[in-house]
Amino acid sequence: MSLVDLIAGADERTLAASGLACLDRCVPLLGGEDEVLRPLWADLAEDRSWQEPLAKARAELGVGGLVEDDADHAFEAEAAELARRMLDEAPDEPSASADALRRWADACSDAALRIHRLLDPAADEESSVTDCREGRTDGPPLVAAELRRQIAVLELVTAHGTGGLRQVLEVSTEGRRVLRAVVSRRARGRSV
């Protein structure tokens, strides 16, 4: 099944986990600490409202980041803007309507893949995020790895429900480390 098909067939909890996992992996672009979204994960696992921790995360991630908005940092600035939209557009409740969660999860999936494409030095003009999401190609290495993580998240929550969230967190932690390393490497490359 393609990523698009998995999102189309997912239930509300799976969609909320999928969107949150994409956002969690991209937190380094917003200058956030690794644990900034942990309360949202806890609320998702307990079927509680995440309105308060979401507001707190938005406030905490509202300023700063690993990138500056100038010509030398154009790709990183665009990537950070995509990550910010994921956060800004998050539904106030993980139990929002399936349609609202599906739109958010789909937008987060697309944004996370675009972020990885922007930051992947091996990406070429012909690699398409849409083609990757529809299963027609794997894409460049960073995009292919992010695609695998997104599919893993959807499959874990679909198969195990709340019980799969611990494994989803592990997948997101690995992805966050990868993205943080990529951004750091790009910054070091510019300073040489």
pLDDT band at 147 (very low <50, low <70, confident <90, very high): very high
pLDDT at 135: 82
Handedness of CA 107, 110, 114, 115 (dihedral sign): positive
pLDDT of residue 121: 77
pLDDT tens digits for 12-59? 999 999 999 999 999 999 988 889 999 999 999 998 999 999 999 999
Q: Would you place residue 65 in the very low, low, confident or very high pLDDT band (cuts 50, 70, 90)?
A: very low
**How crowded is residue 88: how many other Cβ atoms within 10 Å of its Cβ?**
10
CA separation for the pair 134, 123 (Å, rounded): 18
Would you say 183 and 47 are in contact if contact means Cβ atoms under 8 Å apart? no
**pLDDT tens digits, one per residue of 107-120:** 999 999 999 999 88
